[in-house]
Amino acid sequence: MKVLFDTNIVIDILKRREPFYKNSNKVFMLIINEKIEGIIGTSAITDIYYLTKKQYADTKTAVDIIFDILEIIKPVDTLTSDVFSAAKLGFDDFEDAVVASIAMREKADYIITRNTKDFSKSPVPVITPDAFLAMM
C-alpha cells in the first residue's frame, strides 16, 4: 500500500505536536517496518526545512533532519502536469490540490493528513492517521 504524507503529519512528528504525535509517528513506523510505502511531494520539503530550521535555529541540523526523513519517505517530484491537474480539481487551497494531483499520478492509495476537509474534492481517498491506524 502506498500513502502520501501531507506536510502537517511530518511536522507533527518532528515537533512532537500533541495530541497528534503518537498516531502520526505510528503511521511513520509502518514505513520503517516496511508495512506500507510512504511518499512525500518534494514541494513539502522546503516547508519542512523552514519549520525545522526555525525550531532548531541551525541550518545543518535542519538539513540533516531532511536527509534522515528522505531515507525513509520517498520524495516524488512535482511535475508541470500536476499543477495543471490541480487547477482542474476545484480546491480552495491550491497547495492541497497539488498534493492530491501528485497522489493521483503516483497512484497512492491514501493521502494521510489532519486536514481531511481541505481535501474533500480529492480523487485519492484522504484519511487521518487515527483512522488509518484503525483501518490497518
Q: What is the Cα–Cα distance from 54 to 96, expressed in whole angstroms? A: 23
* Domain limits, the chain: 2-128
Whole-number pLDDT of residue 92: 94
Report pTM: 0.92
Q: Which of 24, 3, 5 is nearest to 15 (CA)?
A: 24
Instruction: Write down the architecture of domain 2-128 according to CATH.
Output: 3-Layer(aba) Sandwich (3.40)
Q: What is the Cα–Cα distance from 95 to 113, expressed in whole angstroms? A: 13
Residue 71 CB partners (closer than 8 Å, separation 6+): none
Mean pLDDT across the chain: 94
End-to-end CA distance of the chain: 11
Whole-number pLDDT of residue 52: 87
Residue with the three cell numbers 476545484: 90
